[in-house]
Amino acid sequence: MANTQTALKEAMTSIEGTLGVALVDYSSGMALGTLGGGKELDLTVAAAGNTDVVRAKVRTMEQLGLKDSIEDILITLGSQYHLIRLLKGRNSQGLFLYMALDKNRANLAMARHQLRRIEADLEV
């Protein structure tokens, strides 16, 4: 079992092209931990903004009567991928992992696979 900082560090080092990663509470929009980012990628702003994305998708699924769960949400930009993975564990309800990837260096399928593995090991 990995704690938050260990999981974020593993994401930054094991997933090629990672620009930044955060663990976010979507009930409050607060980042519980961040690693990476910089001037071009303020992870606290990204955490708050992507909280709105998650809330909107959850609300839409409820309105449509979909009885399913969100695995991840992908936002594709010209030069980046932004990946949002909702956590499924007992103690992680209302949390998501957010990751920004350099589109030219990242392998999206491998990033999703690695993020799923990191989620499974994460103990919040």
H or E element, residue 109 = helix 108-121
* Mean of all residue pLDDT scores within the chain: 92
Q: For residue 90, is pLDDT > 90?
A: no
Q: Count of domains in the chain?
A: 1
Q: What residue numbers bound the domain in which 89 lies?
A: 4-121
pLDDT band at 1 (very low <50, low <70, confident <90, very high): low
Instruction: Kindly report the CATH number assigned to the domain that includes residue 69.
Output: 3.30.450.30
84, 72 Cβ separation under 8 angstroms: yes
